[in-house]
Chains A and B, each alone.
Chain A
């Protein structure tokens, strides 16, 4: 699905996506997904992925030969129209279409790509097995071990904060293959089939009351050596190279979501009359905050486009991924906090939010609590600031840091 990157071509594409959304975004999905059971959520996510795939909209950021190939300008149009139509988001497939795919495309063998990329489009679900109880911000100190035996590895350990673990078919697994090496030089990267004997998943209930995350216990799990991705003991480097690079891509969608559905929802809540008959939006202070958010979101959206373009042109900066992640997550937190305050106690009576929605679903109090799901995982805001300082500004490292 490519269109000429002319203004006319883009306008035509926008109309096409707009029309497609009108015909395909299921009406009433928000209500149906509010309080939905796990099974309802999973089947809805799978069906939505199939819908998007049929239209060529599921993986616009992938290379053309695998079913993507959209220009940045087209992706922006696609994501902004999906958000404007308040379409559901691909949440269950998020790690599959972004993290798993970018890792496979960057470091996978042709066989691995062939095995998994089409399967991801068919709905294969992936989870990231990175964090451990003793390896959070200091991820490189992870202790899950993978011992080579013949043409397989025997894996033992425990993974934590694995988003979507209970639904996953496959896992992007980091494990230590050389305990004697310096900590960043002894890690390998594996593709783990979650149906392998010895894999045990337990959900973790999070602050919002939901259980998106899981613990993964690995007991004598056998992974064939053919499922190593990248060279042995270079797993840390593979993960570093692939995970930062795709940040801009994931952010492009999230920023358009924030800029369309999110901001519109915020203006809507500010325009509602309170019990005293007054509208918050008539208050100058509220107007000032709204305009500030609109400006910050505009800056974020422009930055995302720049980062994706820079990435495609091979001129990414070493701190770009951290800058956009930090800014988005803290903006989301500020914005949901504001929406919650405008909504008053009433929004605190919303005890569950629609599944399959964006991070600014409109259940502002839960959205606010859920915003820590952005400022903590994937490198906390503190870690991002350290990365920006050290890699982006070349400030000296902390003496104690290894």
Chain B
């Protein structure tokens, strides 16, 4: 346990340093978030954290990937890590082992392929367990129909992993090239310029039989688990950006002088910062617990879902409050484009909706009370 904690602490320190550097460089050029070179991530061995060692991975767990998610949020980094690594590797790990699957995992680890997992529309919990696509048999073979919107990192993906209802109705994963006829991937620009979302639609796209991959266990349970994993990953991102906003605000409140004293000495400002810290501490507890549950894979799926919903709703609500308060406490400068606070606020509002709004997650929790 403590050894794992040490490993994660070290990973966190390295990630903060590496992303912080690219953040400074990136922000000077564009106050719209910073680009992270994919080769840097590959070089740091972060692409294969959850991949088995024999495929070139680090044989670690979701807990380590969660550290990277949190640090990407802290740095408001522009990176397809969520779609290409957290969700895609998570998806592939739920599948029956096969040579094709293993080859794709190795290619992801090496940074050679940047895929995206299309598990549902990015704004919903409603679709949980209900595949957005379906396979239909035609004379020429299986074809794909369906649609999913707001899919993280789909527009730039080199390969897509689509959750589809197989011909027997059970969910399967269809691997496809985004450029095949009948498949369309359209970028959906959003206010948060650090994220790339896409609309994926299929109208009779041809699917080769060796690209239809079966889940290793209960396919519906697995697809629900993947959405919980997605929700927790986004909660980590929001937690990281919340901490960055609190740190920036506290730093500013210590040096900004008005009425002849630092504004941080005024109770109105000090108490607002205290409330930000309290919210972060609570969110961190819930996120840590959810990460542990997703990573351990020991508890019942229902317990993991509860922890995921609590973490997602708490951390993502908190992040919007905190980024909003950060803008407020920075005063006029906080509202400028140049300050960059809007970048965090926009990411926070996007995160809040991705993979289930707080209200949707609370609805899921409340379904247990009846």
Q: Which residues of A contact B (CB under 8 A)?
A: 267, 270-271, 281, 284, 287-288, 290-292, 294-296, 298-300, 302-303, 306, 319, 323, 326-327, 382, 384-386, 388-390, 392-399
Contacts and interface: CB of A to CB of B under 8 A. Distances in A.
Interface size bucket, B side? Answer: 35 or more
Contacts of B267: 382, 385-386, 398
A281, A288, A296, A302 interface centre (most CB from chain B within 10 Å) = A302
Nearest to A326: B278
Interface string B250-273: 100110000001101111011101
A357 to B, nearest CB: 23
5 contacts: A281-B369, A298-B286, A385-B270, A385-B274, A389-B270
B270 A302 contact: no
A323 B369 CA distance: 29
Given A288-B359, A303-B285, A385-B270, A396 B265 contact: yes
B163 interface: no
A291 B363 contact: yes
Leading 4 A-B pairs by shortest Cβ distance: A287-B366, A291-B362, A389-B270, A302-B285
B277 interface: yes
A395 B286 contact: no
B370 interface: yes
Contacts of B250: 393-395
B281 interface: yes
A395 B278 contact: no
Nearest to A281: B369
A384 B274 CA distance: 9
Given A287-B369, A399-B265, A390 B314 contact: no
Given A298-B310, A395-B253, A291 B273 contact: no
A270 B266 CA distance: 41
Contacts of B314: 295-296, 299
B313 interface: yes
Interface of B: 246, 250, 253-254, 261-262, 264-267, 269-271, 273-275, 277-278, 281-283, 285-286, 288-289, 309-310, 313-314, 359, 361-363, 365-366, 369-370
B254, B281, B286, B309 interface centre (most CB from chain A within 10 Å) = B281
Contacts of B309: 291, 295
B286 A302 contact: yes
Contacts of A267: 369
B278, B283, B365 interface centre (most CB from chain A within 10 Å) = B278
A327 B282 CA distance: 9
A287 B362 contact: yes
A54 to B, nearest CB: 35
A388 B271 CA distance: 8
A300 B284 CA distance: 11
Contacts of A390: 270
A385 B275 contact: yes
B270 A395 contact: yes
B298 to A, nearest CB: 9
B235 to A, nearest CB: 12
A298, A392, A397 interface centre (most CB from chain B within 10 Å) = A298
Contacts of B361: 291
